[in-house]
Amino acid sequence: MAKKNQEDPLAGLEKAYAQWQWLFENGGSDPTWPDGVNLNLMRNHIIYFKGQIEETCPLYMADALYLRELPPEVDQNYMANPDKIREQARRSLQAYQADPNYQYLLRHRDSLTPKQSKELCVGAVLGYAASLRDSIARDDLVEMRRHREPERYLESFQDCADKVRQALESSDPNLFDMAAEEENDTPDMGMTM
């Protein structure tokens, strides 16, 4: 059985150098690891492709790409554009806290039974903002980077708020809540005796 054609090591080397450079300048989107971890992984890819050239295509060893200097090893915790990540995280948190659906969930989370709250994932959805607030306080750039595009989380707030509205509209009215609403809706006439 014939082996599948593997990637040309020179093309792989060119791609690995380009990815390393892009990641170093722009940062990645890995939700778990800092850019430094991925940069060092890309560096290992470069070493691998250079080794492949030495073993299988020694004529490529004269190519300028092969002769290009190996990128440096970087600190595992390196993050590209940390100030930009921090600023975007602050803006995302402000957007979450100002969102009417987020505000609705905060106001109505205690109106649900524990079972409803769990089924509708209210705690998890509200946890997005709490987690981001905590990440900002700890300066956790990897966690903050997850919130670069707040629209995804804002959609979760809306989806969850819609489900909570449906659950509250379809559930039996809570007599204590009704009494409290009546008390708040009744104008204060003052007590006369």
Whether 87 is in a domain gets the answer: yes
Q: Residue 66 in 3-state DSSP?
A: helix
Give the span between the Cα atoms of 141 and 110, in whole angstroms: 32
* Six-digit token string for 146: 């997850």
Host domain of residue 93: 82-172
Each residue's pLDDT tens digit, 96-119: 999 999 999 999 999 999 999 999
- Count of domains observed in the chain: 2
Whether 74 is in a domain gets the answer: no
Length of the chain: 193
Q: Output the pTM of the full model.
A: 0.77
Q: Residue 182 in 3-state DSSP?
A: helix
Whether 24 is in a domain gets the answer: yes
User: Do 50 and 132 belong to one domain?
Assistant: no
Amino acid letter for position 96: Y
- pLDDT at 187 exceeding the cut of 60: no
